[in-house]
Amino acid sequence: MEIIKFGYLKWKQLSYFNFILSTTLIIIISLLPIGFIFDYFNITEEEVGGIDADSYSTIGLILSAVVFAPLMETLFLQTLPIKLLQGLLKNKYELLIILFSSLLFSLMHFGYSYWYSLLTLPTGIILAKTYILFQERKESSFWTTTAIHSLRNLVAVVFILLEAL
């Protein structure tokens, strides 16, 4: 348990750029256990679903997934719910606030599938925690959370585009 606490303290003190890169990597790594569970239960990529890349041009896919979605989702799924609950709960119950924001994030992806929604839950947790952490730092919570979300989506888009080759 001490190693986790130590790692957490180091993570939250990282320089801005290193925080963004390492948090994006943490998000990607957090998806691996869910992927293994999906494999174990024979849940296919088609069942999980996701963005229909074929319905977008390359530029449209990048703009949608890497620019617009992170901006809108950070505003509506982290900024507004977190600030609202912090005000209502007098900035107490951080875990409840993170859980609420994360569940909203997950539910917003339910349109792809139940499985995709489940897959996005760890990302929602990490993005909500990032938003709250950066409320205490000099850098913007909104732009930091958006940058991490954008970078994570960029990684996914690169894999989608490589798969299409």
Name the average pLDDT for the chain. Answer: 96
The vertex-146 CA angle with 64 and 54, nearest 5°, equals 20
Model confidence, pTM: 0.96
63: DSSP letter: I
Residue 89: what are its φ and ψ, rounded to 5°?
A: -100, 15
Compute the distance between CA of residue 41 and CA of residue 22 in angstroms, rounded to an integer: 30
Compute the distance between CA of residue 137 and CA of residue 133 in angstroms, rounded to an integer: 7
Residue range 25-41, pLDDT digits in tens: 999 999 999 999 999 99
| Contact of 117 with 107, CB cutoff 8 Å | yes
Q: What is the pLDDT of residue 61?
A: 96
Query: Cα dihedral angle (27, 33, 38, 42), rounded to 10 degrees?
Result: 140
* Helix segments in the chain, DSSP class H: 2-12, 16-40, 45-48, 58-62, 69-73, 80-88, 94-108, 114-134, 141-164
Q: What is the pLDDT of residue 66?
A: 98
- Below-50 pLDDT ranges, the chain: none
- Collapse the DSSP code of 139 into the 3-class scheme (helix H, G, I; strand E, B; otherwise coil) and give the result: coil
User: What's the chain's Rg over C-alpha atoms?
Assistant: 16
Angle between helices 94-108 and 80-88 (to 10 degrees): 150
Q: What is the pLDDT of residue 165?
A: 81
Amino acid at position 127, single letter? L
Nearest to 79 by CA among 165, 145, 1: 145
Q: What is the pLDDT of residue 1?
A: 79
Compute the distance between CA of residue 36 and CA of residue 39 in angstroms, rounded to an integer: 5
